[in-house]
Amino acid sequence: MTPWIPFMPERASTFAWRVDALYFYLLGVTIVFSVLIAGLIFYFAVRYRRRVPDEIPEPIEGSLKLEVAWTVIPFLLASSMFVWGASVYFSQYRVPSDVMELYVVGKQWMWKFQHIEGQREINELHVPVGRKVKLTLASEDVIHSFFVPAFRIKHDVVPGRFSTIWFEATKTGQYHLFCAEYCGTNHSGMIGWIHVMEPADYENWLSGGAAEGSMASIGEKIFQDLGCITCHRSDTQGRGPVLAGLFGKQQLLQNGETILADENYLRESILNPRAKVVQGFQPIMPTFQGQVSEEQVLQLIAYIRSIGSLPETEQPLPGAPPSAPSPSGRRTRLQTAPKNR
Amino acid sequence: MSTAAAEVEAGSNYINVSYGVKSWLLTLDHKRIALLYLASVTLFFFLGGAYAILIRLELMTPAGDLVQAHTYNKMFTLHGVIMVFFFLIPAIPAVLGNFLVPIMIGAKDLAFPRLNLASWYIYMLGALFTLYVVLRGGVDTGWTFYTPYSSAFSNTYVIVTGLGIFITGFSSILTGLNFIVTIHTMRAPGMTWFRLPLFIWSHYATSIIMVLGTPVLAITLVLLILERTIHIGIFDPTLGGDPILFQHLFWFYSHPAVYIMVLPAMGVTSELVANMSRKSIFGYRFVAFASIAIAVFGFLVWGHHMFVTGQSVYAGMIFSFLSYAVAIPSAVKVFNWTATLYRGSVSWQTPMLYALGFIGLFTIGGMTGLFLAALGVDIHVTDTYFVVAHFHYIMVGGTLMGYLGGLHFWWPKITGRMYPEAWARFAALVVFVGFNLTFFPQFVLGYMGMPRRYHAYPEEFQVLNVMSSAGASILGVGLLIPMAYLIWSMRYGRPAGPNPWMAAGLEWQTSSPPPPENFHVTPVVREEAYTFRKT
């Protein structure tokens, strides 16, 4: 249990103390300087108040020593703030590898969540305590911002790309989720709750829903419905690259560059296929912009990730779910060597 | 005193030299143009203030019950647009700067009097666009116009508002250009660069930002308007654009714009601290160069508005470091002002109360900027009320205090008459108390996690919001009092005489109000700034 301090938000993640410690350091330094300046001003204003209406005090030139002192000392203190702040920031934005993955879509004016196993939620998110959770954030329309004060995390959800953020909850309970970037009329209604549960309760909760199957299996259905399968065949004879085993690999592009086939690349290739064409293929794929929602893009990617990802090729994947049970996600029938490395 | 009184009654000055509406609307006198600006920015200040009062009324209760969400969003947008572009940016340069820059350097007018008048007409044209938006139903994008909300989603008057700001920007550019040329070419004999009052140095620094920064805002707004009308696809991701690009462009101007607002107030504070304690500014050259350093570094820190947008972690670190760097010259100024008081003859008259208030509140505003520049803390507090409190401490606690202090200090010069001292001290106290009660609780609210631009909020935030709203009503009253007694004093105030403060500076060597050509004989400067002697 952490001590309750009035007018402070709860501390419910591993970041909370790190951010608060830095905050208290800043508070300490700035209070000392504010009191010093305010005290000096008040003292001088009283001590040297005008006593005779037309008095002229002796002029004082200035002092190089003082100027150097009050340039260098604040600079050193500011540098310490910079270094400390940067180290906290760095750890917040560097996602560790052993994470559980969750997917978030912001749209005017609601938060939609998908668990790998298929559960979907709106404005409520259930997570286990003591487990690192990585969120992949997408926006259906404008810029939103995912903000959980008790976790001290915030990240803009920018349309046209995926963003990622992670946290590890340390305390069960329910915590505010806010949209922090102004997103239109009902911006202040785009709020929800994060429910942090004991792992066992979370497992219980997980087994309760998911009528439609895992994200990957929904993705597979979309893959077939949209006819992706006609070009992206499982053998090397298709007009498009083989997708099995592609996720997390470097792809050689037409212009000779290589790119890592991560979530952002797959997203771009679905919505704007001609931007980065794999070498050896024609830019013939039509765009699916407007035909698939951000959620469906996430499901398609979950499917692509699931095919052909043998346990041994799983290692280099950033943040593959180590223990998330996704039985339908482990497919073997489409395992074919990719045409291009 | 009696000769000065006679001058107010009979002598020819810039106010009584000619009469009639035409003599004001077609004037080329920088002092009259300053008064045209004074009337205009005052009007907009109270319009923007009315929106602030409505916002604080809505936030008295957690539920969004006074106005609808859509209306609330328009209120904070118009509050921001009006206060930033039509009050804070022009207030000190276009009113006090216009009046004082030529007189302080011993010139008869600005270098380009016609451009100066044109700048006021351009400002008014932009203002008309904004008033049209106010009357026709408003705009709801926030004063920051973030895409793609502003370019593809908002159904309000984004284009007209954008055009209004685009047009008004040119009045800034012309004012800045005029100041730069005037300061370079029209200084009186003997007025060397290091004899210039610090007010001039800070206005010079401000002018650099106005001339170099404002065109970027203009380009950004044009791109936004093109995006909205013909969908050029530069910001909208569904057209292949990048919404974050807008933020880079917007803040490339709008962060330096903060220094357009606060640098002139720093210049005013330097004058007030020196003249009201009859001491030369401690470390004159450091204070002067600090203004230039702020203007230059101010252009390199825009990325600190975007630490959570997903810009590269390393870019974030560079912007964080530069943001700390830009804080240093501001700190140097604060220390030098404080040291100036040492062994001075410190007056407790109203201008000094505002100057000391400026130093205190600007210090808090600046110190909380250190929290926001700290990457790890910024993640938590950005886009919350912490930011709202921080920039109000800079803009209201800083710019508005500086403006009010300057207005009181030079009021005798501008009108030839004194304001009522007792009322003015009382109002300064009310403003100080009201301001702190309004905005200090917002720091706490922000750290607790209340996001900004929220029409409704969870109940645990109510106590602090009620405190803030109570403070706003006190602040509102505190700002109406000067409005009343300043107008009263124009007719009934005690005649001031040329130098009621025993202040140094060329403006105090000419009569109050000054003659149309400022000086009957061009002054020759033989001493450093802030050399005080008994008059």
Structure tokens at A211: 């009528």
Q: What are the chain B neighbours of A147 within 8 Å (beta carbons)?
A: 383, 449, 451
- Which residues, including other chains, have CB under 8 Å from residue B383's CB and lie 6 or more apart? A145, A147, A154, A180, A181, B308, B451, B452
Decide if B370 and A78 are in contact by the 8 Å CB cutoff.
yes
Looking at CA atoms only, how far is residue A45 from chain B in angstroms? Answer: 6
Please indicate if any CB of chain A lies within 8 Å of the CB of B278.
yes
Q: Which residue has the higher pLDDT, A337 or B186?
A: B186
The dihedrals phi and psi of A325, each to the nearest 5 degrees, come to -75, 120
Distance CA B105, CA A121 (A): 68
Quickly list H helices, chain A: 14-47, 64-93, 199-206, 215-225, 263-271, 294-306
Looking at CA atoms only, how far is residue A277 from chain B in angstroms? Answer: 16
Query: Mean pLDDT throughout A211-219?
Result: 81
Distance CA B18, CA A35 (A): 52
Please indicate if any CB of chain A lies within 8 Å of the CB of B367.
yes
Decide if B335 and A159 are in contact by the 8 Å CB cutoff.
no
Q: Identify the DSSP state of B59.
A: T
Decide if B448 and A8 are in contact by the 8 Å CB cutoff.
yes
Q: What is the DSSP string of A104-162?
A: EEEETTEEEEEETTS-EEESEEEEETTSEEEEEEEESSS-EEEEEGGGTEEEEE-TTS-
Say whether pLDDT at B258 is over 60: yes
Q: Is A164 helix (H, G, I), strand (E, B) or coil?
A: strand
Q: What are the chain A neighbours of B370 within 8 Å (beta carbons)?
A: 26, 29-30, 78, 81
Decide if B327 and A74 are in contact by the 8 Å CB cutoff.
yes
Distance CA A104, CA A111 (A): 7
Query: Mean pLDDT throughout B332-353?
Result: 96
Contact call for residues B156 and B228 (beta carbons, < 8 A): no
Structure tokens at A25: 């350091």
> Which of A8-12, A50-54, A250-254, B174-178: highest mean pLDDT?
B174-178
Of the candidates B146, B331, B448, which has its C-beta nearest A9's C-beta? B448
First CA to last CA distance, chain A: 51
Distance CA B502, CA B482 (A): 23
Please indicate if any CB of chain A lies within 8 Å of the CB of B364.
yes
Decide if A150 and B307 are in contact by the 8 Å CB cutoff.
no
- Which residues, including other chains, have CB under 8 Å from residue B469's CB and lie 6 or more apart? B56, B57, B59, B60, B438
Region of B449 please: left (phi>0), alpha (psi -120 to 50) or beta.
left
Q: Model's pTM, two decimal places?
A: 0.90
Query: Mean pLDDT throughout A270-283?
Result: 86
Could you tell me which residues are beta bridge partners of residue A100?
A133
Could you tell me which residues are beta bridge partners of residue B417?
B495
Q: How many CB pairs under 8 A join A and B?
A: 279
The dihedrals phi and psi of A101, each to the nearest 5 degrees, come to -100, 145
Contact call for residues A172 and A196 (beta carbons, < 8 A): yes
pLDDT range class, residue B7, cuts 50, 70, 90: very low
Among B234, B308, B534, most A C-beta atoms within 10 A, so best to mutate, is B308
Region of A173 please: left (phi>0), alpha (psi -120 to 50) or beta.
left
Of the candidates B238, B244, B452, which has its C-beta nearest A158's C-beta? B244
Could you report the per-residue pLDDT of A72-121, keeping only the tens digit for each? Answer: 999 999 999 999 999 999 988 888 989 999 999 999 999 999 998 888 89
Could you report the per-residue pLDDT of A124-133, keeping only the tens digit for each? Answer: 999 999 999 9
pLDDT (0 to 100) of residue A266: 87
Q: What are the chain B neighbours of A179 within 8 Å (beta carbons)?
A: 451
C-alpha angle B27/B411/B488, rounded to 5°? 95
Please indicate if any CB of chain A lies within 8 Å of the CB of B458.
yes
Contact call for residues A125 and A106 (beta carbons, < 8 A): no
Q: Is B385 helix (H, G, I), strand (E, B) or coil?
A: helix
Break chain A down into helix, strand, coil percent, rounded to 5: 35, 20, 45
Decide if A22 and B154 are in contact by the 8 Å CB cutoff.
no
Structure tokens at A263: 């979530």
The dihedrals phi and psi of A197, each to the nearest 5 degrees, come to -120, 160
Say whether pLDDT at B1 is over 60: no
Among A75, A142, A193, most B C-beta atoms within 10 A, so best to mutate, is A142
Nearest CA in chain B to A188: B454
Contact call for residues B182 and B110 (beta carbons, < 8 A): yes
Distance CA B377, CA A116 (A): 31
pLDDT (0 to 100) of residue B426: 97
Of the candidates A81, A178, A186, which has its C-beta nearest B370's C-beta? A81
Distance CA B441, CA B436 (A): 8
Could you report the per-residue pLDDT of B9-44, keeping only the tens digit for each? Answer: 456 899 999 999 999 999 999 999 999 999 999 999
Q: What are the chain B neighbours of A87 within 8 Å (beta carbons)?
A: 376
Please indicate if any CB of chain A lies within 8 Å of the CB of B142.
yes
pLDDT range class, residue A211, cuts 50, 70, 90: low
Q: What are the chain A neighbours of B529 within 8 Å (beta carbons)?
A: none
Q: What is the DSSP string of B286-319?
A: HHHHHHHHHHHHGGG-GGGG-TTTT--HHHHHHH
Say whether pLDDT at A318 is over 60: no
